[in-house]
Amino acid sequence: MTRSIRLIADDYGLAPGVSSAILDLIERDRLTGTSCMTGFPEWEEAAARIGLFRRRAAVGLHLTLTDQIAVTGPSSLAPEGKLPRLASLALPVRRGRIDERDIHAELDTQYGRFVEALGGPPDYIDGHQHVHFLPVVRNWLLARFGESARKPALRGAPGLPGLDAAAKIAAIATLARGFNRSMQRAGFSVMTPLLGIYDWRQPEKFAPTLRAAIDNLPEQGVFMCHPGHVDETLRARDPMQGVREVEFAVLSSEGFGASLDRAGARVMDASA
């Protein structure tokens, strides 16, 4: 019996080169779907392109609270209009220096831009740099969807060991503590465990990380990846660059297809 694995590409909409690479992989049936960043000026054009694949790919919302320009402009979250670094986000929220209402307004706007451009809600929700695990974002998820009969699926916590990334996985697991249980109790479907975590400063780690996922990822889990082509927009917005080309090359390769065949696996389609 063929086993299905769920492969999700993060960061659709971050830059034209990233979006084009993800669409290419969807056309090749190498991805289950992709998570969209809706705050950039190119979003409407990017949404029109991914909208053509709604029956073929799961299309999610990639909540963004770090490093990029705030869609809602200056606020306690983004005093100069730019979202903070992850390390500068959680503690100020707990200490009250960032107003939770400003965070919820930013998330509401990103969600609204998704719905407006694609004509409906996202299939699932996750977070750039895993910000959906933060308590303030959990509160937003419960406030917006808690009473809804149709809730988006959520990306859950890491649950399996990675290759040479134990410290990184442990840090994410700490951030995600209690997330799966509390969200499932609230009626959300949670995709867990999360695989695909490695040190992206060592691009050679991606291929073995993917091979391990092919062998070990259960159907309810998810493997996240970040394929893309480097362009000037990406260079201006994100430090994760050349490794995206490596991920694209691996995912589009004949070797990846052969690995799936040997494991008796296939990439899950959007209907699953």
pTM greater than 0.85: yes
Q: H/E/C letters for each residue in the chain?
A: CCEEECEEEEEECCCHHHHHHHHHHHHCCCCCEEEECCCCCCHHHHHHHHHCCCCCCEEEEEECCCCCECCCCCCCCCCCCECCCHHHCHHHHHCCCCCHHHHHHHHHHHHHHHHHHHCCCCCEEEEHHHHHHCHHHHHHHHHHHCCCCCCCEEECCECCCCCCCHHHHHHHHHHCCCHHHHHHHCCCCEECCEECCCCCCCHHHHHHHHHHHHHHCCCCCEEEECCCCCCHHHHHHCCCCHHHHHHHHHHCCHHHHHHHHHHCEEECCCCC
- For 176-231, what is each residue's pLDDT tens digit? 999 999 999 999 999 999 999 999 999 999 999 999 999 989 999 999 999 999 99
Q: 61-92: per-residue pLDDT in tens? A: 999 999 999 999 999 999 999 999 998 887 77
Q: If you average pLDDT over residues 100-111, what whole number do you get? A: 97
Show the domains of the chain with their CATH numbers. 3-267 (3.20.20.370)
